Amino acid sequence: MRRRYVSLAAAGLAATMTVTLTGCGSGSGGNDVALTLIAADYGDSKANSSQHYWDDLVRDFQEQNPGIKVDVKVYNWTVVDKKVEDLVNAGKAPDMAQVGAYADYAARGKLYGADDLLSIPVQADFTPSLAEAGEYQRKQYGMPFGASTRRLFYNKKLFAAAGITSPPQNWADIVSDAQALKAHGVKIPFALPLGPEETQAETLEWLLAGGGDYTDNIGKYTLNAPENVKTFEWLQKNLVGKDLTGVDPAKLNREDAFAAFADGDVGMLNGHPTLMKQAEAKGIDYGTVELPGATGKAKATMGVADWMMAFKQNGHRTEVGTFLNFVYSQKNVLKFSADYNLLPVTSSASQAMLADDKFSKLHGFLAQLPNAHFYPSDKTSWPLVSKTIKSRMGATVGPHGNPSATLTDIQNIADTADNTAE
């Protein structure tokens, strides 16, 4: 995937332009249009379900645009992608969907491009690295909606009890700190969740820390690159082989690792902003630092974005554009990010968050976003590759694993899928 390196300040120039609340170009026109949106739920209970966010937003929107009605249905992440897929395949696509992937629909010609919908100031306000991650064949179809980066979390109380005076800065520090934590009786010195839930994320975090990635600068898969093999051989030998992960990484899911950290059983792990709220709810005194790399700080961290997309089927381009311009106002983007401990996807909302001390714990994550590396979600082969990574990478760090062979197998699968998609 191509990568663009910009500062938030530079990206924020777009925020100085006036945001309009009208769609671009012509569509079905007229009044009394009913739009449908299927969205993912970012809450962990009915009390903080994303349905509340959308209900408030739609009420405000309809007060200003009485001729456009919007029906938002929120589904759990475990089913929302399949729900949208089933509707599209049945010829009943919603007007909009906010889910985890967009490339397949874009490749099938089912989506409006962002520039078909958004005013120029609104589209220009997307954080450039996120806008670029939403491109398929150099045209933006995926509009980012909710983002995060990764940092290393550590338990300050456990560190102090084990005599560790500062968080790790490189991989050698991780090993020595994990050994000290283990000697002090910590159950899981370093949590390495390579179970099937989110293996593709933990894998990418480590590949980036080791100087590698899933793809090169022109989007070609590089799964079995020497630096990637070296990274997983290091994990196999120095963390798993020295019994510093506490449990078998292939059987540890991210959700369980986060819960164990919040329970005080984990010394260190890689995490995203939602872990902060989870840890604070259990009274854990934690710190975060940039991901350690092989010899110093990692050159980049992983970024994750979810995607808003708009389907052509119902032809409501003007009305959808009007609604999405409203959705991506600074006020609404910042509110969603604040409600769910996520990073804003626009430069104007990012600047507002950086200027507000109440978001100080998110500032470190946010500062990393412009240079973050993302999944190759612009590739229609990525879902298959991601599924394969989930099923294979946990076992490869075990005593009988072979990182070189595993990564080469996945590389071959990726290449075949890529060639088939062309």
pLDDT in tens, 355-381: 999 999 999 999 999 999 999 989 999
Stretches where the chain sits below pLDDT 70 are 1-31, 422
The runs of H, that is alpha helices, within 263-329 are 274-281, 317-327
Q: What are phi and psi of 305, to 5 degrees?
A: -135, 145
CA-based nearest residue to 92, from 335, 313, 338? 313
Enclosing H/E stretch for 352: helix 347-354
CA dihedral of 249, 252, 253, 254, whole degrees rounded to 10: -70
Count of C-beta atoms within a 10 Å radius of residue 311:
21
CATH assignment of 151-303+377-420, among 3.40.190.10, 3.40.50.720, 3.40.309.10, 3.50.30.50: 3.40.190.10
Query: In terms of Cα–Cα distance, which of 192, 175, 306 is closest to 256?
Result: 192
SS3 360: helix
CB atoms within 10 A of CB 76: 11
The CATH number corresponding to 33-147+305-373 among 3.40.50.300, 3.90.79.10, 3.40.630.40, 3.40.190.10 equals 3.40.190.10
pLDDT at 269: 98
Rounded to 10 degrees, the C-alpha dihedral 45/277/375/307 comes to 50
| Alpha helix segments (H runs only) across 108-170 | 114-117, 120-124, 128-133, 156-161
What pLDDT digit, counting tens, does each position of 197-249 carry? Answer: 899 999 999 999 999 999 999 899 999 999 999 999 999 999 999 999 999 99
In the DSSP assignment, the letter for residue 19 is P
Describe the chain by its helix, strand, coil percentages, rounded to 5: 50, 15, 35
Burial code of 111-137, b = ≥16 C-beta within 10 A, e = fewer?
A: bbbbebbbbebbbbbbbbbbbbbbbbe
pLDDT at 27: 40
Q: Where are the domains of the chain?
A: 33-147+305-373, 151-303+377-420
DSSP 78-114: HHHHHHHHHHHHTT---SEEEES--HHHHHTT-B--H
Three-class SS state of 222? coil
259-to-73, 161, 349 alpha-carbon distances in Å: 29, 21, 30
Same CATH topology for 33-147+305-373 and 151-303+377-420: the answer is yes
